[in-house]
């Protein structure tokens, strides 16, 4: 199975999601993109960002409120290629 790509809407960068990355936040950090966060368990919501295309899943539903079209990269994984607004 091919690894998913994370496409950054503003820059057009395509980041490959390697197996060792447990969530979207770790993918972004591995490619030297700074994302503000306060945790890695989906509690506070400070890392909230917009999902433009694709789907993500959560091992457990985050405790922070997430509106339609928003995701928490600290605790989600891509289900195929995704595009985000960073």
Whether the predicted pLDDT of 3 surpasses 90:
no
The residue with tokens 């997430």 is 66
Q: Which tokens belong to 78?
A: 């891509």
Q: What is the model's pTM?
A: 0.90
Provide the β-strand partners of residue 32.
none
pLDDT in tens, 36-77: 888 877 778 899 999 999 999 998 888 888 899 999 999 999
Q: Measured between alpha carbons, how far is residue 70 from residues 19, 26, 53, 64, 78 in Å?
A: 24, 18, 11, 11, 13
Q: What percent of the chain has pLDDT over 90?
A: 70
β-pairing verdict for 49-53 and 70-71:
antiparallel
15 within 8 A of 8, measured Cβ to Cβ: yes
Whether the predicted pLDDT of 31 surpasses 90:
yes
The pLDDT value given to residue 17: 94
The pLDDT value given to residue 1: 59
């Amino acid at each position: 199975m091919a690894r998913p790509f994370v496409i950054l809407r503003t820059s057009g960068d395509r980041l490959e999601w390697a197996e060792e990355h447990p969530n979207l936040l770790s993918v972004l950090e591995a490619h030297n993109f700074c994302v503000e966060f306060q945790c890695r368990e989906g509690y506070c919501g400070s890392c909230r960002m917009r999902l433009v295309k694709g789907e993500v899943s959560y091992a457990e539903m985050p405790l922070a409120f997430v509106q339609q079209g928003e995701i928490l990269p600290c605790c989600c994984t891509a289900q195929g290629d995704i595009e985000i607004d960073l």
